[in-house]
Each structure stands twice: as C-alpha cells, then as structure tokens.
A = this chain, B = another copy of it.
Amino acid sequence: MQYVYSFGSGNADGKAEMKNLLGGKGANLAEMNHLGIPVPPGFTITTDVCTYYYKNDLVFPENLKNQIEDSLKSTEAIMNSSFGDKKNPLLLSVRSGARKSMPGMMETVLNVGLTNNTIPGLITKTGNPRFVYDAYRRLITMYADVVMEKAAGIEPLEGQGIRQKLEQILDLFKKENGLKNDTDLSGDQLQKIAEEYKKEIKNTLGSNFPDDPSVQLWGGIEAVFKSWNGARAISYRKIENIPDEWGTAVNVQAMVFGNMGENSATGVAFTRNPATGENKFYGEWLANAQGEDVVAGLRTPNPLNEATKTSDTEHLPSLELSMPELYSKLAKIRINLENHYKDMQDIEFTIQEGRLWMLQTRVGKRNGVAAIKMAVDMATHGMINKKTALMRVQPEQLDELLHPMLDPESESKATFLAKGLPAGPGGATGRLVFNADDAETWHNRGEKVILLREETSPEDVHGMHAAVAILTAKGGMTSHAALVARGWGKCCIVGCGSLHINLDKKEVNIGNAVLKEGDWITMNGTLGKIYQGQLDLIPSNPENHEEYKQLMTWADEVRKLKIRTNAETPNDAKQAIQFGAQGIGLCRTEHMFFDEDRILAIRKMILANNVQDRRSAVMELLPYQKQDFMGILKAMEGLPVTIRLLDPPLHEFITLTNEQIEELADHVNLEKSAVEKRINGLHELNPMLGHRGCRLGIAYPEITEMQARAILEAAAELTRTGTVVLPEIMIPLVGTVTEFVDQERIVRATAKDVYEETGIEFDYLVGTMIELPRACLTADEIAEQADFFSFGTNDLTQTTYGFSRDDIGSFLPDYLDRRILTHDPFQSLDINGVGKLVTMAVQSGRGINSKLKIGICGEHGGDPASINFCMENGLDYVSCSPFRVPIARLAAAQATLDL
C-alpha cells in the first residue's frame, strides 16, 4: 500500500483528482509539478494513514517509516542537501491538508531539522546567523506548542500555554535591552533567547526540546495527525458537516525562505481581481520577508504589478518592476494555472535568492460582483461553458448587486454597537427615530431616517416605508418587520436584544452607547451589524451590470421552476416583474385594510351584533378592495396572481388606545364598555393557533364573499377592457377538506353571480395554502377539491416545530450556537422534518389530482437550498419577495443543473 506520494522537479506520484487521498493542498502540489511549475519538493502522507492511525490506537502503519525515508531521499536529491546534515542541512515544513480546506484548524511546524548539529552548517551556507537563529527560535516555539505541550498531556488555561510563556521571555528580553521590534534582535541575542526557551520548556513541560532532526520530523507528523481530532477541528467539522472519517493528509516539504536577503521575497496573489472580477493579475508581495509577514500587517505589502496600482499604492514598488524576470515567470504560471484549473486561483509564492517557488494554489474566494464577472467572462471566452458559469455564482451573492452595500473600508474602521438578526440585506445609514409618525415627518422634510421599534405592527407600515432602514429589538427572521422590509428590499435588522429603548425620552441604550433621536447610525443588514455614525455606502445598480444580465438570461434558459413574487401593491408587482417574476405567488390582503377609511369599516364589522350589520360593514370595503385588485391584476397582466383571503386574527385590526376606543364607541353608537368587552373577547392566548385564516371566513362568510366579489368583479372589468387576468383565489390555513369546501362554495357561488351580472367569463382558480401539518397529512382529500396548493412554509415550520416565529428569539440564537439546530428553519427549509410533510403532500395531492398546480410562498421561496428541494419535489413554482427573485432564478437554474 502506498502511503507516501512524492513530488518535486516536475514529477509527482499524485495529481489534482486525488484530493480525497492527498488532501487539497497535496493534490494541487502534485498537479503543479505536472504543469511544470516550480514547487519545493517533498511528499504527502495520505489521509489513509490518518484513518489507520485513529483506527489502530494511534499507531502508524508498519511500512510508513520506510516509505517516508525513501521519499525524503528524493527530496534531498532534488534540493541537493541532506536532512540533518552537518554541512548542508535540509529544512522541512510539516503541514496539514484535508480534503476540504479547514483554514487554521490544524497544526503546522516549520523549520524542522534545525539542531545544534545543523545550525553551524546552515550559518556557513547562508552567511546569516541572525536568519538561522530566528528560524531556530520559531521552530522551538512551534514545536513546544504543537508537539510537546500536547504530548505532555497538559491542557493550560486560555493564554497560559507554553507559547505565551516563550513569548513573555522574548518580550522581557526586548524590554530589558530597549528593543522594540523582533527585527531589532541580533543573531547572538536570538541565540540566547533560544537557550532560555529550551530551559523554560524543560521546566514547564518536563522534557528537553529534541535535538534530533528525525524526532522533530516524526513529532511534527504525529502532531498534525493528532490535530485532526483537536477541539477546534472537531467543532469546525461539525459546523461544516465534514465527516470525521475523512482524516487529513500531511505535507512534508523542503523549506524555502523569502527572507534570505533582498533577492528573496514572498507574496500572495489572485489570478483575477477577487473584488471586481477584472481579468488582471492581482496580488501583494514583500521583499526579504516570510509568508506570515504579508498577512500580519506589520509591514505594508507592495502591489504585484503596475496595472493594479491605486492612488494609495502608486508610490510602492511593484514586483513587475523590481524583479521583472521573476514577475514574468509568475505571470506565465498565472496563465498556466487558470488555463488548467479554469477558475480564478489564489496562490502563494516565495522567491529564495532569485529563485521562484510556488507554495500553494487553490480556487480563490471572491465577492458577488467578482463572481458574476469572472463566470460570465470565462464563459464568454470559452474557458468554461454556460452551465459551469451558472454554478460559479452563489445565488446569495447577487444580493450585493441588488442592494446598496456598506463600503468595506468604511465598515472596517467603524464603531461597532450591536448585532441582531440580518432580516433585510444591504447597507443603510440614517438618523434614529422612535416611531412611525416621526419617521414620516422627518422623511417628508428630507431626512434619511432609520426607524427603531421594540417590534413593528401593521400600524407602523407608513413609517417603515418612510425609513431607509428598520431596526427592532424583538422578533425573528419572519417577524412583521422582517417580512415587510424584505418585500421592499429594505435594509432591516430584527431581534437585536441588546437594544433597550426608552420611548418617553426617545433614547436607546445600545451596548455602552446611549443614542438619542436624530443620532446617525449605520446598519449592515446582510450581517446584522449596527455601527455608530454615518458610513459610506456602495450603491446598487444591477440593470447597468451587463454580466449580471447575461448570467440571468442563461439562468432563465436553464431553469424549469417558475419564479413568482410575494407582492401586495401594483408598485411591488412592477418592481418584481423588473426582477423577472413570472406571477404573484402570494398577495396578502390584510394590509389593505389599514388605511384610515377602511379600518373603520373592519372595526364596525367586528363590533356588529347581527349578520345584517356585519354584512353592511363588510360591504363598505368592496369598492376599495376592488380597486386594489384592479391595480394588481393590471400590473401583472397575463401573469397568474394568487390572492390570499383574509388571514390574521381580528384583534390585529382593533388594537386601540383608550381614546381611540372612546372615539370608536361614539362612532358606532355603542357604550365604551361594550366596545371594550368585544375587544377583550377577541384576546387570544396563542393567536397564531387561534381564530384566523379560513376560520374567519367560516365564522364570517360575508368577508369571504366580499373579497371574492372584489377579485372577480375586478377580473371581469379588466377582461372587458381586453386585459388578460389569471386570478387564483387562495383559502388560507385549511386543516380539513371540509373547511376548504365551505369556503370554495362561497367563492364559486360568487363567481356564478358575477358571471351572470356582468355577462363576462374568465378563468380563475380556487386553491389553498398548505400551512398546517394536517393539511399535508390529508392532502389527497384536499387535492380532490382544490385547483392548487401553495405551501406556506412559514406557518408550516411553526407548527411542525412548535416554534412561534415571534417568540423564537429567546432560544434560537442559543440553539444555533450550540448546534442543536444547524440552521434557522425559518430561513432555510427543514428538509428532514417540514420537508417530509411537503413531499408527502405533493405526492398524495398529485396522486389524486395530476393537474394540481403546486408552489411555495413562504420565505423559503427565496432560499437556494430550499429552492433545490422544491425542484426535486416537482413543484411548479416558488414565490419570494421581489428582491429575492433574481436569487431564486439563479438558484432554480442551479437546481436544474444539479438534478
């Protein structure tokens, strides 16, 4: 069995496809050899060894030692030096490398091979004692920390480990000697420090730092394998769902040094610009430095080339001009790698005494704008095909184009105040106001305001509309504020528990800050972060973004799932059509009742003592509702519009102050106490499970009749003027087929009347929202009667989990932190639980009624993972808020490609 795969000098036992065996790093090191790219030689110990090691009580396979010795010989041969050799010693690095990158989660030991025996030789060879003792000091520190402390079975408290103790020695030495930086230390001084280190190690850990290169190497290898089961690695694997069985590989490589003088250097680069996607070689480098120096930020790194210089960096030396030949070699490698991997690469290189070495190549991370540009560019130039291009962009990354974003530069320097749930993406900056009326007033006088509320209710909607962003102390990702804000594509953070609002003073405590009305704050709605003051924003402009438009066209060519939107005004509808919506999947009707003239009719209805009065109150709303539906149906001409009948419990319409109660009592000619009694009678302990949905329409059939008539009369009138309408009337919260039949009967009878009265016929559907477990369990019965199902997965998630969206804030964050839940089930569909109900309902519904139209209109309609699930389950469409329509279009295309 081959446990060790050598590489170097253009040869390699492995290749890129062997990631499972060699880990990502090892496979790519092998592959670069095949591509003729210079890589420090070495070998990869396979993940099989890791698995063997854990299966066999931490013992390595028998012939591993021989194989390593053989490989080491090849490395020595290529490097023309020997490991442990007195005169010409080879130094090695020992690094982890798992199948999937686990950055920083496992251990590394560098400079392995430095001993009292080899140090003099290396000094002679390099002529640089300072370099050698610095490397020695680093080796001791790493080795003590990574290998020896763990081997001694010591688990120090946070910040009190051997590494910190050694650093204290260093700090003390510098202080005593009046030195500021590590670079101020001479070789002699570093030698003394190394000796002190070794004493401290003996004292603290009870054993000597090993002076045997072979012991160091095996110690390093074993430490890396052991770190696969370190606490950090385990918890990272849990989060990323990486199986424990995979194991890590270990890469042992000849050390190369970028800090061996002015003809040495080190750098990191991307084959294209990861922030813009521009096809320019982009990176940073430092002369006479080690890799970590570029990242650490102690020295300002230089731009790689002239073309990518900015006003900030134009005075700095580029590698292109400083080392033109090496740069040109690097640039060729860049082309070589991109042509080979057909994707933007993130690379690390070191130049040792004028010789270029590549240390790493991997697919580079990129932001959304860059992802789109690169994918479309590469596809346009034939480097990849369209399908690959579509798979290269994460749907969520489109958000960056659809919303203004915080300028990262500005954000990095800002004063952080608090974190909440990221309910509406994008960035926003504005002045704090504490109620909806103030928001409107300030907005009207030209101010940008952020509306801050404990939580919002339908009565805050005008203020929410006036505000540039919404911030609440309570509520979850599907609370009222979150839903409304996402519908408008507005920046919104909810459930920010560290806000303590004093409404009387118009003041809020956030963390340690106290902010007053009019104070500026800035919100990153994508991350849920709140900052003090006014930060810079980067505007959104998708319609001018050619690559975006191109990608979306490709997506539409591929996808099979239709994308609708959740919208309840003609403006929302138009916006959604611009974003590519193919219909309305959920038009809620309850918000239409909150206008001043309408709410009174609703309240009269609620207070009516008999059917006649109730009926006449409800019918006052008919002309308004008809206008509402005319507007929406017209805006969506030729596209289907699913309109949900009244859903929320009635008490939402009659939450009144004492004064308002008096006024209303006057108006309807009732005793105040009678009004109060009725309001109290509507109080429910668990309104979410109370008298709402179709239960309202069953108790008050005149509401259903009025709404059906408004929709159908609007449809008739538009049909008469030649507008094609496709209304789909949706009965909410059906739990038994008898409920559906009761309500359907009213709708169909009303349609018959409208047909007869107007003489105009048009198509319409009657269907139901499937949002209760029982509806899923009896979907066959319901499907026999219904034209369509629309899964209301918000409510379905609530009842399946028994989680109230409004109250989940008290435990959900903790659940996520502790991995009791891997994700918020209101954001991404719980496929294992809720998904089973959906699958069951689709199968049994279609089993009875093969023509059943099926969609989803919960918030999950805009979530890529959930869209994938919908596609697999054969749904006809998903419906989401307008600003998520593009995301859904791309996700639907990817789901099709994934099948």
Query: Which of B693, B777, B814 is A800 in contact with, Cβ under 8 Å?
Result: B777
Q: Which residue of B lies closest to A684 (CB)?
A: B807
Does B772 lie within 8 Å of A801, measured CB to CB?
yes
Per-residue B-contact encoding for A782-795, CB less than 8 Å = 1, 0 else: 00000000000001
Nearest CB in chain B: distance from A239 CB, A: 14
Residues of B within 8 A of A687 (CB): 685-686, 807
Does B832 lie within 8 Å of A698, measured CB to CB?
no
Nearest CB in chain B: distance from A826 CB, A: 12
**CA–CA, A802 and B775, complex, Å:** 10
**CA–CA, A123 and B47, complex, Å:** 114
Does B795 lie within 8 Å of A772, measured CB to CB?
no
Residues of B within 8 A of A834 (CB): 774
| Residues 827-855 of A contacting B (Cβ, < 8 Å) | 830, 832-834, 836-837
**CA–CA, A818 and B738, complex, Å:** 10
Query: Which of B685, B690, B695, B773 is A837 in contact with, Cβ under 8 Å?
Result: B773
| Residues 686-743 of A contacting B (Cβ, < 8 Å) | 686-691, 693, 695, 698-699, 733, 735-736, 738-739, 742
Q: Which residue of B lies closest to A690 (CB)?
A: B807
Query: Which of B733, B795, B810, B820 is A742 in contact with, Cβ under 8 Å?
Result: B820
Does B691 lie within 8 Å of A814, measured CB to CB?
no
Residues of B within 8 A of A699 (CB): 810-811, 814
Does A833 lie within 8 Å of B689, measured CB to CB?
no
Q: Which residue of B lies closest to A734 (CB)?
A: B802
A804 within 8 A of B: yes
Residues of B within 8 A of A778 (CB): 832-833
Q: Which residue of B lies closest to A740 (CB)?
A: B820
Does A738 lie within 8 Å of B820, measured CB to CB?
yes
Does B691 lie within 8 Å of A815, measured CB to CB?
no
A320 within 8 A of B: no
Check A821/B689 contact, CB under 8 A, given A773-B800, A836-B777. no
Check A698/B811 contact, CB under 8 A, given A688-B685, A739-B820, A774-B833. yes
Per-residue B-contact encoding for A763-777, CB less than 8 Å = 1, 0 else: 000000001111001
A329 within 8 A of B: no
A507 within 8 A of B: no
Residues of B within 8 A of A821 (CB): 736, 738
Q: Which residue of B lies closest to A836 (CB)?
A: B777
Does B690 lie within 8 Å of A689, measured CB to CB?
no
Does A819 lie within 8 Å of B774, measured CB to CB?
no
Nearest CB in chain B: distance from A773 CB, A: 4
A806 within 8 A of B: yes
A799 within 8 A of B: yes
**CA–CA, A620 and B697, complex, Å:** 51
Does A801 lie within 8 Å of B735, measured CB to CB?
yes
**CA–CA, A771 and B773, complex, Å:** 13
A803 within 8 A of B: yes
Residues of B within 8 A of A690 (CB): 804, 807-808, 810
Nearest CB in chain B: distance from A701 CB, A: 11
A589 within 8 A of B: no
Check A695/B738 contact, CB under 8 A, given A686-B688, A773-B773, A804-B690. no
A429 within 8 A of B: no
**CA–CA, A429 and B184, complex, Å:** 98
A868 within 8 A of B: no
A798 within 8 A of B: yes
Does A798 lie within 8 Å of B738, measured CB to CB?
no
Does A811 lie within 8 Å of B691, measured CB to CB?
yes
Check A736/B820 contact, CB under 8 A, given A778-B832, A800-B777. yes
Among A687, A689, A837, the most chain B Cβ lie within 10 Å of the Cβ of A689
Q: Which residue of B lies closest to A649 (CB)?
A: B807
**CA–CA, A427 and B511, complex, Å:** 60
Does B777 lie within 8 Å of A837, measured CB to CB?
yes
Q: Which residue of B lies closest to A741 (CB)?
A: B820
Among A738, A739, A777, A795, the most chain B Cβ lie within 10 Å of the Cβ of A777
**CA–CA, A690 and B806, complex, Å:** 8
**CA–CA, A695 and B798, complex, Å:** 15
Per-residue B-contact encoding for A654-690, CB less than 8 Å = 1, 0 else: 0000000000000000000000000000001111111
**CA–CA, A815 and B735, complex, Å:** 12
**CA–CA, A815 and B698, complex, Å:** 9
**CA–CA, A818 and B819, complex, Å:** 47
Nearest CB in chain B: distance from A240 CB, A: 17
Nearest CB in chain B: distance from A854 CB, A: 20
Nearest CB in chain B: distance from A393 CB, A: 32
Q: Which residue of B lies closest to A835 (CB)?
A: B777
Does A774 lie within 8 Å of B830, measured CB to CB?
yes
Nearest CB in chain B: distance from A841 CB, A: 12
Query: Which of B777, B810, B819 is A738 in contact with, Cβ under 8 Å?
Result: B819
Nearest CB in chain B: distance from A608 CB, A: 16
**CA–CA, A693 and B801, complex, Å:** 12
Does B691 lie within 8 Å of A802, measured CB to CB?
no
**CA–CA, A778 and B830, complex, Å:** 11
Residues of B within 8 A of A818 (CB): 698, 742
**CA–CA, A736 and B815, complex, Å:** 11
Residues of B within 8 A of A742 (CB): 818, 820
Among A698, A774, A834, the most chain B Cβ lie within 10 Å of the Cβ of A774
Does A698 lie within 8 Å of B820, measured CB to CB?
yes
Nearest CB in chain B: distance from A246 CB, A: 22
Q: Which residue of B lies closest to A774 (CB)?
A: B833
Does B689 lie within 8 Å of A688, measured CB to CB?
yes
Nearest CB in chain B: distance from A791 CB, A: 14
Nearest CB in chain B: distance from A859 CB, A: 17
**CA–CA, A699 and B820, complex, Å:** 11
Residues of B within 8 A of A695 (CB): 811
Q: Which residue of B lies closest to A688 (CB)?
A: B686
**CA–CA, A810 and B819, complex, Å:** 40
**CA–CA, A686 and B699, complex, Å:** 22
Does B795 lie within 8 Å of A686, measured CB to CB?
no
Among A693, A695, A795, A837, the most chain B Cβ lie within 10 Å of the Cβ of A695
Nearest CB in chain B: distance from A328 CB, A: 55
Does B801 lie within 8 Å of A684, measured CB to CB?
no
Nearest CB in chain B: distance from A855 CB, A: 20
Q: Which residue of B lies closest to A799 (CB)?
A: B799
Nearest CB in chain B: distance from A739 CB, A: 6
Nearest CB in chain B: distance from A140 CB, A: 40
Query: Which of B689, B698, B739 is A686 in contact with, Cβ under 8 Å?
Result: B689
Does B807 lie within 8 Å of A689, measured CB to CB?
yes
**CA–CA, A832 and B774, complex, Å:** 9
Residues of B within 8 A of A832 (CB): 777-778
Nearest CB in chain B: distance from A297 CB, A: 37
**CA–CA, A735 and B818, complex, Å:** 15
**CA–CA, A818 and B795, complex, Å:** 26
Please list 14 pairs of residues, one from A and one from B, whose beta carbons are closer than 8 Å in the complex, sorted by A's number. Answer: A686-B804, A689-B802, A689-B807, A691-B811, A695-B811, A698-B815, A736-B833, A738-B819, A774-B800, A774-B834, A777-B800, A777-B833, A778-B832, A799-B800
List the 3 closest pairs (A to B, CB-CB), nearest first: A689-B804, A686-B804, A690-B807
Known interface pairs A686-B804, A686-B807; 12 further A-B residue pairs with C-beta atoms within 8 A, sorted by A's residue number: A684-B804, A685-B688, A690-B808, A690-B810, A735-B803, A736-B833, A738-B821, A742-B820, A773-B799, A773-B802, A773-B833, A799-B802
